[in-house]
Amino acid sequence: MALVSEVDDSVFQQLPRSEMIANLLRIIFHSPAWATEFMQLATVQMSQLALEPKTREFVVLYTSRICHSDYVWKLHGGFAQTFGISAEELRALDQRDLTSTVFSEKYRALLTYVSKIANSTSFTDENLARVREHFSDQELVEVIGVHGYAYTVSKLTTVLDIEVEPT
């Protein structure tokens, strides 16, 4: 049971393109203006980034493990294979095994970058050298943005104990 009350579904279903009923929405619409913009950012991240969908999902899933968010893990893990993430990669992500050989060098570099984003306050050229071999500056910025968004959702769902919807 969530630690704050849920708003009525009609609050967010009145928004354009918002037929979705999710427990997360039932909570974040306590702040309608913020939630509306938050949903707009989700749309951008799902459809308008230079990042490949598989890369985006690696960032989201790994961030959910860092934050111990079962909500995000179960939601995104449920369709990870649609974006080309294998069951073996999912297992390695779940175990936070960044050195697993199931990941290509590109994705090992990405996951190390996300780990450093989550655990560091500054970066050096040396920190970025490995990931820059695989990603453009635009993609590096987008990875930070996706990580930040996934971090926010993960924290909302863990701190407020938001339950995962039944599938």
Q: What is the CATH number of the domain that holds 120?
A: 1.20.1290.10
Q: For position 17, what pLDDT does the model report?
A: 47
Task: Give the C-alpha separation, 119 to 135, whole Å.
Answer: 20
Q: CB–CB of 85/58 below 8 Å?
A: yes
The answer to whether residues 39 and 64 belong to one domain is no
In this predicted model, what pLDDT tens digit does every residue of 78-136 receive, in sequence order? Answer: 889 999 999 999 999 999 998 899 999 999 999 999 999 998 877 777 778 889 999 99
Task: Give the C-alpha separation, 100 to 127, whole Å.
Answer: 20
Q: For the whole model, what pTM was predicted? A: 0.87
The answer to whether residues 40 and 58 belong to one domain is no
- Domains: count for the chain: 2
**Residue 14 scores a pLDDT above 60:** no
Range of the domain at 119: 53-159
- Is residue 137 assigned to a domain? yes
Which residues, in sequence order, are CB contacts of 83 under 8 Å at separation 6+? Answer: 53, 54, 56, 57
How large is the C-alpha radius of gyration of the chain?
Answer: 16
Which residues, in sequence order, are CB contacts of 7 under 8 Å at separation 6+? Answer: 26, 27, 29, 30
The residue count for the chain: 167
Q: For position 104, what pLDDT does the model report?
A: 96
- Is residue 153 assigned to a domain? yes
Query: CA of 164: how far to CAs of 45, 78, 152, 157, in Å?
Result: 21, 12, 16, 9
The answer to whether residues 15 and 39 belong to one domain is yes
In this predicted model, what pLDDT tens digit does every residue of 16-38 receive, in sequence order? Answer: 444 456 888 888 988 999 998 99
The answer to whether residues 98 and 16 belong to one domain is no
Q: For position 63, what pLDDT does the model report?
A: 97
Q: CB–CB of 114/62 below 8 Å?
A: yes
